[in-house]
Structure 1
Amino acid sequence: MAKKAQALTGVSYVMPVLNEVEHIEAAVDSLTAQDYEGPFEIVLALGPSVDGTNAIIDEMARLDPRIRHIPNELGSTPGGLNAAIRASTHPIVVRVDAHSVLPTNYTRIAVETLERTGADNVGGVMKAQGRTPFERAVAHAYGSPEGLGGTQHHTGGDEGPADTAYLGVFQRDRLVEVGLFDEDIKRGQDWELNRRLRATGGTVWFTPELEVVYRPRSNLRKLIRQFVATGIWRGELARRFGTANSLRYFVPPLAVLGTAVGLILGIIGSVTGINWLAIAYAAPAVYGLFVVAATAVATAQEGLRSGLWYLIVLPCIHFGWGSGFILGFLKLTKNITAQTGR
């Protein structure tokens, strides 16, 4: 057994962390519980948390020498990832999110897939799971066509080459070769990195065998902030790199525009007596029916309390992401900022 362990490739887990007191212990525990028998280290890049996160990490590092932490001086997700990668020592880099919980076989399957396919990056399914009615409503949106589109990274699919991958298990030398993560891109940096890997002849590989539990934001304020920031950066990326492979990203902003314009024109018609403008109410009415129908499905699957939250969660996701996308695509924000994490 010892000989086998020595023959296995070493793995470095890298994770940027900022204000994750609710989730950090579960995330790190899922790494130390992996059934992969090769050597590993956990490198945590710590931002300026104010909720006690860093004290928890200090204690975990004191008890387990495989856990190290370094400062994330930039405070951003790509800055933390790059700092952790530079501080890492093993040939395979496993990106981990502080909101994620890896199944025990994750690393073993990922390394086997890297070696079998010769890929530069391997990723799988982001399986959102909530514990409260609110979180279950958000998790349902993550995995549904009306929420985040029902892509393979949320619902599964056939194994094979992909444009991008959730989290990612990388060949370290290829990460260094393409210049690591772009620190000017605060969200969507994984998509942009995978674009460079593919542009330089590499392969990004999706496998449904890798399924990672993801914990959604725990309240509405955090959810809205997350999706506005994500939308801003997705709009920024669409403007920078074109839209040929991201037409579906325009659906939420178009829905936002259509609904908002319909409401404005309808109100103008009602106030001025221009009756024909009442037809403009059709757009928000159709959207409202769409949300109600989607909520009925969510209620049947998740229960009444989560279903009631879904009536609020789904429009917040659409309008947060859609309005953010418009701001980013039209470059209407001078300073695009986003908190660490997904």
Structure 2
Amino acid sequence: MPVLNEEDSLSAAVATILAQDYEGQREVVLALGPSEDGTNEIARALAADDPRIVVVDNPAGDTPTGLNLAVARTRHPVIIRVDAHSELTPDYAAAGVEVLRTTRAANVGGLMVARGRTPFQRAAARAYMSPVGLGGPAYHSGDAAQEAESAYLGVFRREVFDELGGFDPTLRRGQDWELNLRIREAGGRIWFDPHLQVTYWPRTSWKKIAQQFRATGIWRAELIRRHGAKNSLRYFAPPLLVLGLAAAGLEALAQLSGTTRRWPKFLRRFTSLVYVAPAGYVLGLLAEVARARDLGLRERAWYLAILPTMHLCWGAGFLRGLLRGAGTTADRSR
């Protein structure tokens, strides 16, 4: 478990691991980054109270570095990646090991079940689980066991790390996808099973959601730069949306300023088509919010704000990363 600034959730996350209904031996290795709250004190107190808990220092604070340091301290043939802001179901470890055995997969993942405690967080959770929100990967909304491109967190065979060298420390985001790509290229199988479920608590404010998705978009662009066509075409939808909205904005300014009156008639008709995509997008958002009947009025309002925030911040970040690379961009929303 890589840990950074998680004082509010660390104890509960560790408790769900220790409470696993699993007959075999287990250990919990916490990779402690340079937290600015009381996280590290909590982690060391937990380790002092239970010999199954081990802590390792991760001064860089980067997730892939912390994961590799933690894996290096483990002793068992199965490695289960967990996060400090996630909670496992009681049978997660046992079920994951059984799926590894029956499918002969190299890595197994399950469904990321987003939940919220506040109206904002519940709306964010709905966006995470909706195909209109994050979409794409089975672990956000899948309902059938299947081979997958990647996995949320992951239950790994140790051979993955012995043979492939673990997570790429130069990737601050998207390191899971990149490792799963190398697994598939080496002939291994990634398997999704919806019976494996992890509770995920989204960011708690609009600003943090915006920061998270901007950083995610930047690092996805970095993966596009490195691995090109091995990425799904769905990753290009948010940046195309951003470009479409920008084009519509420029067209509107041109019309308001009277510039378009000097253009040929056929050109005016052509450029006016830029409004079609933004209008369709807005109607799609309104339809999605109308379908969210399980949300209260306040939650629907947040849902309507969160969906375009996710899309546009991700898309803008992607365009920035595509042009300039990710560099040292970090997600500071936690």
Does the pair score TM above 0.5? yes
Write the distance in 2 (CA, Å) between the matches of 1:184 and 1:239. Answer: 14
Write the distance in 2 (CA, Å) between the matches of 1:334 and 1:244. Answer: 21
1:274 aligns with 2:260: yes
1:256 aligns with 2:242: yes
Give the partner amino acid of 1:223: I
Aligned residue for 2:74? 88
Q: Which stretch has the larger CA shift, 97-106 or 237-246? A: 237-246
Identity across the alignment (%): 50
1:189-228 superposed matches below 5 A: 189-228=175-214
Write the distance in 1 (CA, Å) between the matches of 2:169 and 2:183. Answer: 16
- Deviation of the 1:333 alpha carbon: 5.0
Aligned residue for 2:288? 294
Task: Identify the match of residue 160 of structure 2 among 160, 169, 174.
Answer: 174
Give the partner amino acid of 1:144: S
Aligned residue for 2:232? 246
Going from structure 1 to structure 2, the CA distance change for 1:280 and 1:162 (only over 3 Å counts) comes to closer
Aligned residue for 2:150? 164
Are 1:235 and 1:328, in contact at CA under 8 Å, matched by a contact in 2? Answer: yes
- Deviation of the 1:240 alpha carbon: 1.3
**SS, match of residue 170 in structure 1:** strand
Going from structure 1 to structure 2, the CA distance change for 1:280 and 1:114 (only over 3 Å counts) comes to closer
RMSD: 1.8
Task: Identify the match of residue 126 of structure 1 among 104, 109, 112.
Answer: 112
Are 1:61 and 1:67, in contact at CA under 8 Å, matched by a contact in 2? Answer: yes
Q: 1:168-224 deviations in whole A, cap 9, x for unaligned?
A: 011112212101000001111011101111111211111111011110001111111
Write the distance in 1 (CA, Å) between the matches of 2:81 and 2:239. Answer: 30
- Deviation of the 1:311 alpha carbon: 1.7
1:16 aligns with 2:16: no
Q: 1:46-99 deviations in whole A, cap 9, x for unaligned?
A: 111112111221221122121111111221010000000011111110000112
Aligned residue for 1:38? 24
Are 1:232 and 1:327, in contact at CA under 8 Å, matched by a contact in 2? Answer: yes
**SS, match of residue 131 in structure 1:** coil
Are 1:259 and 1:287, in contact at CA under 8 Å, matched by a contact in 2? Answer: no
- Deviation of the 1:157 alpha carbon: 2.9
Aligned residue for 1:9? none
**SS, match of residue 321 in structure 1:** helix
* Structure 1 residues not aligned, in runs of 5+: 1-14
**SS, match of residue 257 in structure 2:** helix
TM-score by length of structure 1 reads 0.90
Write the distance in 2 (CA, Å) between the matches of 1:121 and 1:319. Answer: 32
Q: Which stretch has the larger CA shift, 18-27 or 249-258? A: 18-27
Give the partner amino acid of 1:292: L
**SS, match of residue 154 in structure 2:** strand
* Structure 2 residues not aligned, in runs of 5+: 262-267
Q: Which stretch has the larger CA shift, 76-85 or 161-170? A: 161-170
Q: Which stretch has the larger CA shift, 317-326 or 264-273? A: 264-273
Are 2:248 and 2:274, in contact at CA under 8 Å, matched by a contact in 1? Answer: yes
Write the distance in 1 (CA, Å) between the matches of 2:23 and 2:333. Answer: 31
Q: 1:1-56 deviations in whole A, cap 9, x for unaligned?
A: xxxxxxxxxxxxxx101011222122111101100011111000011111211122
Write the distance in 2 (CA, Å) between the matches of 1:312 and 1:55. Answer: 37
Aligned residue for 1:318? 311
**SS, match of residue 153 in structure 2:** strand
Write the distance in 1 (CA, Å) between the matches of 2:114 and 2:9. Answer: 14
Aligned residue for 1:50? 36
Write the distance in 1 (CA, Å) between the matches of 2:182 and 2:272. Answer: 49
Are 2:203 and 2:333, in contact at CA under 8 Å, matched by a contact in 1? Answer: no
- Deviation of the 1:332 alpha carbon: 5.0
TM-score by length of structure 2 reads 0.93
